[in-house]
Amino acid sequence: MRKHVLFAGLLCGLLWPARAQEIPDDSLRVYELESIVVTADRAERTLARTAAAVSVVRREAFDALPVATLTDALSLTPGLVFFNRDGLGNDPIATVRGFYGGGEVSYLLVLVDGKPQNNVETGLVNWNALPIENVENIEILRGGASSLYGDAALGGVVNLITRRAAQPSRTLALSGGSFGTLTARLHTSGDWKGRRFSLYGDVDRTDGYRAHGERSVTNLGGSLALLHAPGGSLTLSTDHHWKRADDPGYLADADVRADPRTSSDFFRFDRAEENRHRLSLDGAWQPSDAATVSAFLTGELRSADIIRTFLLTPDFADTKDRDLTTKLLSGSAQVVYEGVPLPFPNRLTAGVDAAVGRVDNAYYLFLTGPLPAYLEAPGVRSALDAKGTGDRTTLAAFAQYELTPVPALTLTLGGRYDRLRDTYAPEPPSTGETSDATHTAFSPRAGVNVRYVNAGGHEGHVYASAGRSFKAPTLDQLYDQRSTPVPFPPYAITISNGALKPQRGTNVEAGVYHRAKLTPGGLTGELSLSVYRIDMEDEVDFDLQQFRYVNLGKSRHTGVESGLKLYFPGGLTTFVNYAYQSATQRAGVFEGNFLKAVPRDVFSGGLTYRPASGLGGGLVVRSVRRVFLDDANTIRLPNHTTADARLSYRLKNLTVSAEVFNLTNETYSTTGFPDPAGSDVVFFYPAAERSLRLGVDVRF
C-alpha cells in the first residue's frame, strides 16, 4: 500500500500546473562519429576513437521502435541476445559473445550512471528494477573489459545513462494490451530551491502469457543535486523496487505442442517476491583545468522470498523456499588527468573500486515427489533445511593511459588488479566448517585506433586491441546450500562447488567505424564491424551428469559483429545488424563441439519514421538460428524469426501509439535444455503469440 501511495503522490507532483514547453526533438539529428561521446573507458571520449566494440542506443530510437522492455532496446545492437523465460520478455537471460549463464549467472556487467547493478549472490541483473522511463541513452561495450571493470565484465558492459534534463520537463506514459498488461510510467525534472532534481516512477502488471504467469512491479526513484557549481557537484540519488512474480516454469516438448500457454502443476507454487532499496552519493571535483576527480558511494538492501522447483525427472520434482537478504556497500574513486607535459595530447585515468557484500540465506523444505503430491499439497513450507551467511569483499586498482602522438592515431595501455575474498559460514541445521577462498587477477589491455580517412564526406577509424579478462565464480556457484534429493548415499547433494576456479580469458579484437555521406541530398550511412577471438580457461558451466557447477577446461569464442545504419532525409532511418558466434569446447569428451544454448547466427533489422509531428512508426525483425541445446550437439532449438511493429501519431506534446509484437504469430521458444535425468524429453520456454499494446505519451 505504501508504495502505491508514494506513486500517487509523485503522479500529483507531475501534474502540477506548468507552462507547456516544446521538447527538443533529436529524431532528425545525424551524429558525426567524432561528436558521439561515450564513457566506455570510464571517462568521456568520442566513440570513433575507442579501441573496442561500442554501440549507443539513444532514447529517440527506442521511443520510435516497438520496444516493450529495456532488453528489447538492448537487442537493437549487434551481438547482444536475450532469451526470455516467461514468454513476454520480463525474465530475460543475456547472451553475448558466446557467454551464456542459463539464468543462474551473468557475464554482462550492468551499470546505471557507472554504478554496478548486478546481484551479490549470482551476478544476475533484475532488469525489472531498471525502469526504461528514466533512461536517456544506453552504451554497450562488448567484449572483455576486466582491465577497467574487473569481475563480471567478461562478455561486456552495459551503462544506462539516466535523464539529466537541462530544463524542466514532465512525461506521463500510459499503456495497456494483451494478456492483461497495464503500465504507467512518469518522469519529472526541474529545480527545487535552486537545486536540480528528477523523479521517476512506474507500475507494471500483467496476467502473463502463460498460466501462472502473473507479475506486478513498482519502481520509484529520483535524484537531487546537493551541490552544482563550476568547480564540482554532489548528487544524492535513490531508487526503490518491489516485485511479485509467479513463475510458470518450463514445459516438456509434448506439452508445448499441445498448448504453449499452460504451466506444469509441478510449478504451481513457484514465485518470487523481492524488494530492493538503494541510496547513492555521487561527487565530482575539478581541482584544475587538467584534472577531474569523481567518486560514488552506494548502499543497497535487498530481500527476497523465492519458491523454486527443480524437475529431477519428467515425473518427479523438488521444491524449496529460499529466504534471502543481501547487503552491499560499494564505492569508487577515480581521477582523469590530462596535464602530463608532453608535446601531444594524452590522458591518464586511474582509480580504485571497493565493495563489501553479504548474503544471509535460508532454505526451507517445501515439497518433493511425483505430480499427484503436487496436486494435493497445501503449498506451505515446512522445516528449515539449510542456513548460512556468505560474504564477498572486493578491492581493485586500475589505470589507463592514452596518448595521441598525431591527430589520426590514439594509443591505449592499461591494466587492473583485483582481489576478491569470499567466505561462507553455515548455521544450524547446516553442517560443515566455514569455507573461504581468495581470488586475484591482473587484467592488462593495449589498444590502437587509427583514423584512415576524414575527407570527401567519409570519416573512418580502424582499431585493434588485446588483453586479459577474468570472471570469479559467484557466491551461489561456490557455496549455495540448496539440497537436491538423490536415490543413493548421501541421498542429498548440492549443486555448488567450493573448488571452482576463476575463468580467465585472452582477448584479441579488431574493428572499423565508418561514416559516409552517400548522396548530395543528405543520405548518410554508418558502418560498424568487429571481429574477435577469446580463448577461455576454466570456463564454468553446469554439468547435468554431475548435477553441479564445474570448470569446463578450455573453450574458444570467435565471431563477427556488424551493423549498418542509413539516415534518409525527412526522418526515415533503417538499420541492420548481424552477429556470428562460434563458441566451442577445446577439451574433454565434447572437444570441438559448440557450447550449448549459444546461437551462431543472430540478425536484427528495422526502420523508423519519426517526423517532428504527424504519423510515424517503426518495424523490427529479429532472427536467431543454429542453437544446440546439449553438449553432444544432437538437439537443436528450432530457428525462429519474429517481427514487431509500431504506429504512432504525434501532435505537439502528445503521442498516441499502437504496437504489435510477434506480428506474424510465430510459434517458437527462445531457449531450452534436455532432461537432466537422461530421458528423451526436452524442456522449452515458449514465447508469446501475437499481442497488441496501445499507449499514450504526454510531455509537459
pLDDT tens track for 446-500: 999 999 999 888 999 999 999 999 999 999 999 999 998 877 777 888 889 988 9
Query: CB-based contacts of 667: which residues, under 8 Å, 6+ apart?
Result: 260, 686, 689
Query: CB-based contacts of 655: which residues, under 8 Å, 6+ apart?
Result: 648, 649, 696, 697, 698
Round to whole Å and give the CA distance between 214 and 207: 4
Task: Name the nearest CA neighbour of 514 among 586, 569, 448, 463.
Answer: 463
pLDDT of 547 strictly over 80: no
Instruction: Judge whether 88 and 206 are in contact, CB under 8 Å.
Output: yes
pLDDT for residue 443: 96
Query: CB-based contacts of 343: which residues, under 8 Å, 6+ apart?
Result: none
pLDDT of 542 strictly over 80: no
Percent of the chain at pLDDT > 70 equals: 94
The 3-class SS string of 530-551 reads EEEEEEEECCEEEECCCCEEEE
pLDDT for residue 544: 64
pLDDT of 663 strictly over 90: yes
Determine the structural domain holding residue 651 and report its residue range.
2-699
Q: How sure is the predictor about 645, in pLDDT bands with cuts at 50, 70 and 90?
A: very high
Round to whole Å and give the CA distance between 433 and 318: 26
Sign of CA dihedral 155, 85, 120, 138: positive
In this prediction the pTM is 0.91
Find the CATH number of the domain harbouring 108. Answer: 2.40.170.20
**Residue 94, all three cell numbers:** 543475456
Instruction: Judge whether 239 and 223 are in contact, CB under 8 Å.
Output: no
pLDDT for residue 491: 80
Round to whole Å and give the CA distance between 596 and 672: 10
pLDDT tens track for 188-208: 988 888 889 999 999 999 999
Mean pLDDT score, 269-284: 96
pLDDT for residue 307: 97
pLDDT for residue 390: 95
Mean pLDDT score, 673-697: 93
Q: How sure is the predictor about 528, in pLDDT bands with cuts at 50, 70 and 90?
A: very high
Round to whole Å and give the CA distance between 360 and 324: 6
Task: Name the nearest CA neighbour of 156 among 684, 561, 589.
Answer: 561
On the question of a cis peptide bond just before residue 429, with omega within 30 degrees of 0, the verdict is: yes
pLDDT tens track for 37-61: 667 778 888 888 899 999 988 887 7
Q: Is 115 exposed, middle or buried (0-12, 13-18, 19+ CB in 10 A)?
A: buried
pLDDT for residue 489: 74
Round to whole Å and give the CA distance between 464 and 468: 14
Percent of the chain at pLDDT > 90 equals: 68
Instruction: Judge whether 181 and 213 are in contact, CB under 8 Å.
Output: no
Round to whole Å and give the CA distance between 329 and 135: 24
Number of domains in the chain: 1
Question: Helix (H, G, I), strand (E, B), or coil: what is residue 192?
Answer: strand
pLDDT of 406 strictly over 60: yes
Mean pLDDT score, 5-24: 37
pLDDT of 97 strictly over 80: yes
Q: Which of 38-52, 166-180, 418-432, 675-689 has the lowest mean pLDDT?
A: 38-52
Round to whole Å and give the CA distance between 161 and 172: 20
Instruction: Judge whether 275 and 302 are in contact, CB under 8 Å.
Output: yes
**Residue 340, all three cell numbers:** 602530463
pLDDT for residue 2: 44
**What does the mean pLDDT of the chain come to?**
89
pLDDT of 23 strictly over 80: no
Round to whole Å and give the CA distance between 251 and 248: 9
**CA gyration radius, the chain:** 25
pLDDT tens track for 214-237: 999 999 999 999 988 888 899 999
pLDDT tens track for 127-160: 988 877 788 889 999 988 999 999 878 889 999 9
Instruction: Judge whether 163 and 187 are in contact, CB under 8 Å.
Output: yes
Task: Name the nearest CA neighbour of 46 among 576, 454, 519, 533.
Answer: 454
